[in-house]
Amino acid sequence: MTQSFTPEDVYLERVVSGLDVSAKNQVVCSVKGADREKDEYFSCLWLLSAMGEEPRQLTWGSSLDSGPRWSPDASQIAYLSNRNQGSSQVYLLPCNGGEPRQLTSLARGASDTRWSPTGDRLLVIGDVTVDPNQRQEGCVRDDGAKARAPDPDSPKLCWRLPYKLNGTGYILDTRSHLFVVDVNDGQTTQITSGDYEVRSAAWSPDGKKICISRTREKPNEYHCTDIWVLDVENDNVRRAERMSFDQANSSSPSWSPDGRWIVFTGSLNSGDPKCRLWLVDLETKEVKGLGSESLEVVPGDLCWTRSGDSVGFIQAREGVQSATLISVPEGQCKVIAKGNRHLDSLALGDGFVYTAEDPTSPQEVYYKAIGGEQEQKISSFNAWWNERDKLAVMYRSFCAPDGDGGTEDIDGWVLQLQGGIERKRKTKGPLLVDFHGGPASYVDLRFSAHSYWQILACAGWTILSANTVGSCSYGRKFSDRLRGKWGELDLPQHLAIVKQLQIEGVVGDSIAVSGTSYGGFMAAYSIGKCEWISAAVVCAPVGNIESHFGTSDGGYYSDTYSIDAKKIEFHQLAYRLSPTFLMDNVRTPTLFIQGMEDERCPKSQTEELYVKLAWAGKVKTEMVLYPGADHSFSASGRPSHRVDALQRICEWLEVV
């Protein structure tokens, strides 16, 4: 006997990350869960096998263990843990048994690790304390391993952009830099310093060089990143050479096994979230695109095959995520694993290892041999889904207006209780239109991102989430058409899809809307344009484009790119498009949900919408603020807050 999904399922979900494959084809990963009593998260390391062996838990307890990396000889695993109740440090776990050994004692903790080819050293990225009162000069220091964290109550000088970051807050008293750590004795040497951040790093195959992704030091370009190569001798940088110049955002550099190439992801414009692959020829220093310009890459590690002739990555195409191989330097792509689902967290050995999930199947780990036909599920971390009511999802195309007098096909996910379509044609139940974020994104299929989908589907709802114009993964032209036309092109497409579902007899007249971030913008915009919408849930929205430009951590570059206008036109477009100027038209009961520490779409965006709606007094409205919660709290915030938000969303929509 199965049961419905509930908000309490937040405590049952397990989220897999940090997949890594050893030279012996063993798979290690980190698995995160929520602790109900402590109201916090824990994560443990697990060993998985593609050879039919049972999964084995490697670490235990209430700490956060993450980022596992196999040593080159597969004898031990380096990982990050806060098991000593402080910041995350690097630990080494022997694979032949024994307790983990703490390797580092960095004053501000560690955030990433990479083994040297010889296995005697680790590259470690960690935070270091700097003095913002000295501006750039205050960033040139090499005592990051020992310097204490800044006083959180000290005055915060803001002398350049960006000065804050969602999930962190004020950032000008901290930089992330690169350390080399001796595996035997833990001796730690800081090898980079300055007014920039090291975002990722990788050793060359001979261990003599390191490629890094780092931010710039030029005014108003501090948010941009480039690829650099460091010549290292005796753990000292003798020479640093910038490799990428045309790309505004460059990340995830990965060295080919023969040392000839570096592949990385990047985009040409700083506000553009759509990234493609780029290739550095280290013999000629030439940087060129790898593969088609329309190829879109999901952020994450780029994994070379052991033969060194191809790179594995997660590709985003037409709203789904697939595991793909691309040949180097030819740029020919071959999709290895696909389907109407999202693959993620890729690792590569003798085969592909990845996670996959969709609205009816939970996240698990899968293995597929290179050249093989069948994939193999090698984990069952979310077996509790087998005890829930069965759901059915369709990923289909709808005919919608293209904004230029014609029509075009738009893909959308339609989720219901299994057998729901036949029942709906008799009862014509309610429909929830859930707008995705971005706008240059696409529908997120993670259970953690919107668990209310499954909960509401079990209660008789139909859930629609569509990749309307402006969505990425459909080519640049499709995405760029929405620049400067937020809501004006994509809302008519959503309405056309709703009308089509009504004509087909799948849903009735009761329509609710919801969304987060740009999805929150769309939910607020839609109720300002459509009085007939029955209920709305607006989460962490862009409410006023002009004030979002000045209050968001990245609004000054992301909004200017998305709106695509000169300064004087920007003001006019912000007024025309912003939902805050539509609140007098709203006749829809609206619930606002907002994290109080959100720096991406700050709470002032929600407050502006809520206050206008509440002051008008024409319709029921409430706002819920979650202390300590940032922009991602609905998927990764305090467990009790997530449960509370899910309960409030479902209760609010019960009026439909």
DSSP 395-414: EEEEEEE-SSSSEEEEEEEE
Give pTM, 2 decimals: 0.97
Q: Which residues have a Cβ under 8 Å from the Cβ of 626 and sit 6 or more positions away?
A: 593, 594, 595, 596, 633, 637, 638, 641, 644, 645
Average the pLDDT over 474-500 and give the result: 97
Q: Average pLDDT, stretch 153-181?
A: 97
Q: How confident is the model at residue 173 (pLDDT cuts 50, 70, 90)?
A: very high
Share of the chain above pLDDT 90, in %: 92
Is 596's pLDDT higher than 60? yes
Helix (H) or strand (E) holding 518: helix 518-529
What is the rounded CA–CA span in Å between residue 333 and residue 324? 7
Residue 172 main-chain phi, psi, to 5 deg: -80, 0
Instruction: Check whether the bond before 162 is cis (ω within 30° of 0).
Output: yes
Q: When comparing pLDDT for 424 and 289, which is higher?
A: 289
Q: What is the band of 372 on the pLDDT scale with cuts at 50, 70, 90?
A: confident
pLDDT of residue 96: 84
Taking residues 126-136, what's their average pLDDT?
96
Give the pair of three-digit tokens for residue 303. 């994994």
Between helix 518-529 and helix 490-503 the angle, nearest 10°, is 70
393: helix, coil or strand? strand
Which of 309, 460, 492, 289 shows the shortest CA–CA distance to 389? 460
Length of the chain: 656
Select from 460, 461, 480, 458 the least CA-distant residue to 470.
Answer: 480
CATH of 389-655, one of 3.30.70.270, 3.40.50.1820, 3.40.50.1360, 3.40.50.720: 3.40.50.1820
Mean pLDDT check: name the lowest of 73-87, 211-225, 241-255, 565-579. 565-579
Residue 80 C-beta-side C-alpha neighbours within 13 Å? 21
Give residue 566's pLDDT.
79
pLDDT for the residue numbered 427: 67
User: Is the predicted pLDDT of residue 139 greater than 90, yes or no?
Assistant: yes
Place of tokens 């700083």: 270
Q: Is 496 exposed, middle or buried (0-12, 13-18, 19+ CB in 10 A)?
A: middle
Pairwise CA distance, residues 329 & 10, whole Å? 44
Predicted local distance difference test score (pLDDT) of residue 293? 94
What pLDDT shows up at residue 420?
61
CATH fourth-level superfamily of 15-297: TolB, C-terminal domain (2.120.10.30)
pLDDT of residue 50: 85
Cβ–Cβ < 8 Å for 585, 529: yes
The answer on pLDDT for 300 being more than 60 is yes
Neighbours of 633 (CB within 10 A): 24
- Would you state the structure tokens that stand for residue 551, as one six-digit string? 């209050």
Q: For residue 125, what are the contacts with CB-CB under 8 A and spacing of at least 6?
A: 110, 111, 112, 113, 176, 177, 178, 179, 198, 199, 200, 201
Question: What is the Cα–Cα distance from 650 to 638, expressed in whole angstroms?
Answer: 19
Measured in degrees and rounded to the nearest 5, phi and psi for residue 350 equal -80, -5
Q: What is the mean pLDDT of residues 91-107?
A: 94
First to last CA, the chain: 29
For the cut 70, the answer to whether the pLDDT of residue 248 exceeds it is yes
**Beta strands 276-281; 286-290: pairing state:** antiparallel
Residue 437's pLDDT is: 97
- Residue 433 pLDDT: 98
pLDDT classification of 421: cutoffs 50, 70, 90: low
- Is residue 261 scored above 90 in pLDDT? yes
Structure tokens at 548: 């979002």
For residue 104, which phi and psi values (nearest 5 degrees)? -110, 160
Residue 388 DSSP symbol: B
Is residue 423 over pLDDT 70?
no
The mean pLDDT of 164-182, rounded to a whole number, is 97
As a whole number, mean pLDDT of residues 425-429 equals 69
| Contact assessment for residue 618 and residue 557, using Cβ atoms and an 8 Å cutoff | no
Give the span between the Cα atoms of 482 and 465, in whole angstroms: 18
Q: Can the peptide bond before residue 219 be classed as cis, meaning omega within 30 degrees of 0?
A: no
Sheet strands side by side (includes 89-94) = 65-70, 76-81, 89-94, 101-102
Looking at residue 85, its pLDDT comes to 77
Mean confidence (pLDDT) of the chain: 96
Mean pLDDT over 605-631 rounds to 98
The pLDDT value given to residue 419: 82
The pLDDT assigned to 507 comes to 96
Tokens of 103: 């390797």
Spatial CB neighbours of 611, under 8 Å, sequence gap ≥ 6: none
Residue ranges per structural domain of the chain: 15-297, 389-655
Sign of CA dihedral 378, 381, 387, 392: negative
Give the Å distances, CA to CA, from 214 to 126, 240, 526: 13, 12, 40
Confidence (pLDDT) at 8:
98
Read off the pLDDT of each residue in 12-17 and give the average, rounded to a whole number.
Answer: 98
Peptide bond into 132 cis (omega under 30): no
DSSP sequence for 10-79: GGT--EEEEEEE-TT--EEEEEEEEETTTTEEEEEEEEE-SSSPPPEE---SSSBEEEEEE-TTSSEEEE
- The pLDDT of 544-570, averaged and rounded, is 92
233: β partners: 236
Can you state the percent helix, strand and coil of the chain, rounding each to 5?
20, 35, 45
Burial of 560 (0-12, 13-18, 19+ CB in 10 A): middle
Residue 424, pLDDT above cutoff 60: no
How confident is the model at residue 144, as a pLDDT? 85
- Residue 426: pLDDT over 90: no
Strands of 456-559 (E only): list them. 462-467, 511-517, 535-541
Confidence band, pLDDT 50/70/90 cuts, at residue 390: very high
Output the pLDDT for position 24. 87
pLDDT score, position 267: 97
Token pair of 130, please? 């700097």
How do residues 315-368 score in pLDDT, each as one tens digit? 999 999 999 999 999 999 999 999 999 999 999 998 999 999 999 999 999 999
Q: What is the 3-state secondary structure (H, E, C) of 322-384?
A: EEEEEECCCCCEEEEECCCCEEEEEEECCEEEEEEEECCEEEEEEEEECCCCCCEECCCCCHH
User: Is residue 422's pLDDT more than 60?
Assistant: no
Residues in Cβ contact with 267 at an 8 Å cutoff, skipping those fewer than 6 apart: 247, 248, 249, 273, 274, 275, 276
Whether the link from the prior residue into 439 is cis, omega within 30° of 0, is yes
Reference 101, options 109, 110, 115, 91; nearest CA is 91
